[in-house]
Amino acid sequence: MVQASKLLRRVIQMSPMDLSARTRLIDQLVSHGQVDEAINEYLELAELYYRLAELDMARKTYTTALRVVQQTNADHSWNIHILQRMADIDMQRLDWKQALRVYEQIRTLRPDDPGIRKQLVELYARMGQQQQATAELESFLTYLDSNGRAKEALPFLEDLVKEYDEQPLFGRALAEQLYRMGRTDEAVSQLDALGDALLQTGKNKEAAEVISQILLMNPPNAQQYRDLLTQIPK
């Protein structure tokens, strides 16, 4: 076994894209319980495909590696690494639906990762699934609060607004967080700017919802917002 593996590794060194040799090496490694080494071989092969811009083959190889991890006693830390690479490829191919499914799997394994949560919220919003985007956002904010990490909520929301300012959902969530923190003036200012931008682009319904959110905060000039609300075309 050792000699055969050495020979196969030598072949692969000379010809990295020799799929037959690499597959035989992987089979040998798995059959002798050297699963982590086999996973490494899969990942190297996937990376080679990726560099050659053969994204379909790269993703297929990652999928196979993931299946081996899940069916053997391999180190389960491989799961997140492989899933992340699969999601990266899906995003490059603009296959948002598939990327969403992969990110959901990563979130289950690592619910505390703000980067993954941000990707999920953004993808839901981009795909027009506002209800799911809101639920995911609220879920993460609740997670932060219940795990003593409430102070992370504001920068998380600020990053979302900065990166995806075209999504009213994020601006409204940021304003709500500011309001909860007692920073009402900043919350109203955030919503005022958002409402103005929505009106300028003809999104009257969304603008009216933003004005209604301002009124719930009971600002000193609430009557001005009530008057504005009556003037917005239905």
**Which residue ranges make up each domain of the chain?**
1-106
> With 80 as the cut, is the pLDDT of residue 135 above it?
yes
pLDDT score at 3: 61
Structure token pair of residue 57: 């083959």
Max distance between CA atoms of the chain, in angstroms, equals: 84
Q: What does the pLDDT average to over 93-108?
A: 95
- pLDDT tens digit string along 111-122? 999 999 999 999
CATH of domain 1-106: 1.25.40.10
pLDDT score at 17: 72
What percent helix, strand, coil does the chain show, rounded to 5? Answer: 80, 0, 20
Tokens 């996973």, residue located: 39
Task: With beta carbons less than 8 A apart as the criterion, state whether 49 and 57 touch.
Answer: yes
- Of the pLDDT bands very low, low, confident and very high (cuts 50, 70, 90), residue 15 is confident
pTM score: 0.81
φ, ψ at 21 (rounded to 5°): -65, -40
